[in-house]
Structure formats: C-alpha cells, structure tokens
Amino acid sequence: MPLTWLLIAATKNSGDLFGTSGFAFGDFNLVDNLHAVVTYNGGIFLRWMLNSLIYSVIGSLLSSLISVAAGYCFDKYEFRGKEKLFGLVLVGTLVPAVVITLPQYLLASDVGIVNTYWAVLIPSLVNPFGVYLARVFSEGYVPGEVLEAARVDGASELKTFRSIALPMLTPGFITLFLFSFTSSWNNFFGPLIMLNDEHLYPAGLGIYSWNQMVLQNPEMYRLAITGALVAIIPLILAFVGLQRFWRSGLTAGAVK
C-alpha cells in the first residue's frame, strides 16, 4: 500500500499532490519530476545516490567478509572460551543500533573522522547477527572432511579458507551481503549524527533534508517523493539480481 501511494504520488505535479486524494491519479508529471530531482542544486541528488552506493556496497562487502571469516572460525576451530566469546557476539545482536550511535560518535570525534566517509563506513563493518548466520551457513555448507583433505594435501589455513570454504559459502555470503546492503542503504540515524556536510549525505538523509524544507518551499514535496521512489530502485535491483543466491542461502539457514 505505501509503495502504491509512492508510485502514484511521484507522477503528480505539486498542485495534484495537495489537491487530489492519495490514490487518485492526476496529470502524468513523472518525467518532469525526475528532471527536477536530478538537476536541483547542481544535481546533488546524484551525489547522494553515489554516496549511498559507496556506504552500502563497500561496507556490505567488507562486513560480509568479516562475518563469514568469523563464523567459519567459530564453526571449524576449537579454542579456549569459544562458546563464551560467541555468547558475547550474540549479546551484541540484542543491543539496538541507536543505543551505541552516541558512543560511536564520541569515538569518531576523538580520532577525527566525524563528517567523513569513514564515520559511516567503519560502524557498518561490525555485524554480530551476520557472524551468527555465517556460523550456521558454515555448519551447513562446509564439510569438515573436505577441509581435512586440503590440509593433508599441504594447504595452509588461509588457502583452505580462501580456495575451498569461501566458494562453498557463496550463497551464505550473498545472503549476508543483501541483509547488510539493505541495512546500510536504509541507515538514517548514523549519518544524521555523524555528518553535517550535505555532499556526504546518503540518499535517505538527503531526502529528509528536502522534506524539512517543505514548509518554506512546498515545491520540495514532489522532489522528496520522487527522490524516495528513485532511492528504492537499487534495493529492488539487488534482490532481483541476486535472488537465486539468497533464496538458497535462506533455505539452508532455515533447514539448519
């Protein structure tokens, strides 16, 4: 229902937005709305979309790799205090992200990375729930016998992980990537606290700043709505393009 409203609203001009009901069509103005979005303020919306891709793609790739490596280690290696340490990781899944945003800001301020790309990227690398899922995927996808055979053949632990375990974990890796990508793309509170330069804003925060201008300039309402429609397209493309991987990954996780 909200998506239907958004699709209809993005086709309206300012007069129809305020003069018609939410699900009533007005004059088709989508092309003009899109042109206004990408040309406003020197095309800053395109910069916001690029920033969102940087935060989401780079952060999700690194986060997923770290989670897979950690989950693999928790599954395949025995070391003192392993289960207690894993329990601490699980505790991390219970802590709302909003609660730790202020401490993250203070740490970022101490090291001088506030209002930079790093202030948004670095916190996204830690994903306790991803470590848990990666351990489940490792238990389901990577037989211990295959790893032992590789070690007998003289493969190092790093080579065993890189050449044998990681390819087997591809469906799980893609699933973790999509979860992390969605979380990073929709991340609002973190950038709101960390950033004050609008050229570093992700799309969500940029659209919010447009929405804040509606009282002074009602014309910004159609830009905010059309921008919101454009901003969900990368999420749809990611899920459609990688669906064969994440479906198998979710199935394996559910069965396990």
pTM: 0.87
**Mean pLDDT value of segment 3-11:** 83
> What DSSP letter does each residue of 138-201 carry, written as one string?
HHHH--HHHHHHHHHTT--HHHHIIIIIHHHTHHHHHHHHHHHHHHHHT--HHHHHH---GGG-
Q: Residue 248 — pLDDT band, cuts 50, 70, 90?
A: low
Is-contact 247 240, C-beta < 8 A? Answer: no
- Residue 195's Cα: distance from chain center in Å? 18
Please state the length of the chain: 256
Going from the C-alpha of 190 to that of each of 30, 96, 132, the distances in angstroms are 31, 12, 23
pLDDT computed for residue 20 by the predictor: 72
229: helix, strand or coil: helix
- Split into its structural domains, the chain has a count of 1
Residue 134 is part of a domain; what is its CATH number? 1.10.3720.10
The dihedral through the CA atoms of 46, 47, 51, 57 has a sign that is: positive
**pLDDT over 50 at 249, yes or no:** no
Cα separation of 127 and 137, whole Å?
15
Q: Find the range with the poorest average confidence among 59-68, 80-89, 93-102, 197-206.
A: 93-102
Token readout for 92 is 């991390």
**pLDDT over 50 at 133, yes or no:** yes
Q: Could you list the residue range(s) of the whole structural domain that residue 44 is in?
A: 2-255
Amino acid in position 225: I
DSSP state of 214: T
**Mean pLDDT value of segment 171-179:** 90
Task: Supply the mean pLDDT for the chain.
Answer: 88
